[in-house]
Amino acid sequence: MKAIGKIVVLLLVICMVQQNTFAQVSVGISIRIAPPALPIYTQPECPVDGYMWQPGYWAYDNIDGYYWVPGMWVAPPRPGLYWTPAYWAYVGGLYGFHSGYWGPRVGYYGGINYGCGYYGNGYSGGRWDNGRFRYNTAVVRVNRTVIHNTYIDRSVVRNNNNRISFNGPGGVTAKPRAQDRLAARERIQPTSSQISHQTAARKDRNSFAKVNNGRPATPAISRPSVDNNRTPASRPGAVNHQQARPQRNTAQGQVQQQREVQHQNPAQREQRAPQQARPVPQQQARPQVQPERQQQRVPQQQRPMQQPQRQQQRPAPQQQARPQAQPQRQQPQQRAPQQPRQQGGERREGGGERH
């Protein structure tokens, strides 16, 4: 009888688990205090084409309690994915937190009315169309100077002022649908930007409910301060920096090798001679360019060669005329007849003596 009783208990437990299987998926925190109501705020405009809206939500810290994570526009991991928001569910006397996730379809988020297209089931703020996301401007706000792929569908708008932030007794009583269960099996974890965004909110004292009394000063922002969601292909700068680092290391290594060679013996330098053969082509490459320049300048040197020839031909008759004039000038230098005058002068001197 005891064995039969145990089997019956196991069957009852299995049935209860099957009913609450979806509710127990990705439960990170379970506490006994209900989260505050959702604050009312105005959605900022979508700043970049292709970004998805992540509504704000209450997260929990084991020391300081609930804190608000602002809503924001965020880039999906890849085109074609939708965001399923996080939510709280009251099960078994505890409030459990179910984190959000990405997937090809919107899953179950407790029937919470976050607004901005997340009215409890699915998402009516837009849809993917041939690799591009089209925004329903009747539901969400976008920057029309940047985003042009929009449409208007007012039939999906729900005017509901219910700001309850958890599912279960005392809160929203919505149950998951069949398509919601299927979406939970195709879940993709949040991006690094979304995780960093929640961490930053946790470090802000003003985001805690015990400080702001459930009314955060910053309920939503346009985009995360640091966006790490894009793939390396869309961020070429990151790849170039990684490729530039080995080049710097090799340049530093060559300088260190040159310093080591200067302090080594001649025998050690000869052993490492093959390693220094790399800069040789650089030394030979420079003189090869210089001869080409000299050859191009040869015609410029040939022109001045003709000028001295002309100068030599012109002064030639002048040099021949000068030596002919010199003999004529040298002839009057023979003043032999002037000697008698000198003798006459001596006679005068002598004549003076006579007086």
Averaged confidence pLDDT in the chain:
73
pLDDT digits (tens, 9 = 90+) for 52-84: 999 999 999 999 999 999 999 999 999 999 999
* Residue 220 forms part of a structural domain: yes
In a domain, 40, yes or no: yes
Residue 160 lies inside a defined structural domain of this protein? yes
Check residue 337 and give its pLDDT: 46
Q: Are 52 and 82 in contact (CB under 8 A)?
A: yes
- How far apart are alpha carbons 216 and 207 in whole angstroms? 6
* pLDDT over threshold 60, residue 122: yes
pTM equals: 0.59
Domain assignment of residue 128, yes or no: yes
Joined together, the tokens standing for residue 150 give 């929009």
What lies within 8 Å, CB to CB, of 23 at 6+ separation is 89, 91, 96, 98, 176
Inter-CA distances, 311 with 133, 296, 303, 308, 318, Å: 86, 27, 14, 5, 12
pLDDT of residue 258: 57
- The answer as to whether 153 is a domain residue is yes
For 321-347, the pLDDT digits (tens) are 454 444 444 444 444 444 444 444 444
Q: Report the domain count for the chain.
A: 1
Which residues does 302 contact at the CB level (< 8 Å), separation at least 6?
none
| Residue 323 resides in a domain | no
Whether 66 is in a domain gets the answer: yes
Structural domain boundaries, residue 51: 27-224
307 lies in some domain: no
- Please tell me the predicted confidence (pLDDT) of residue 254: 54
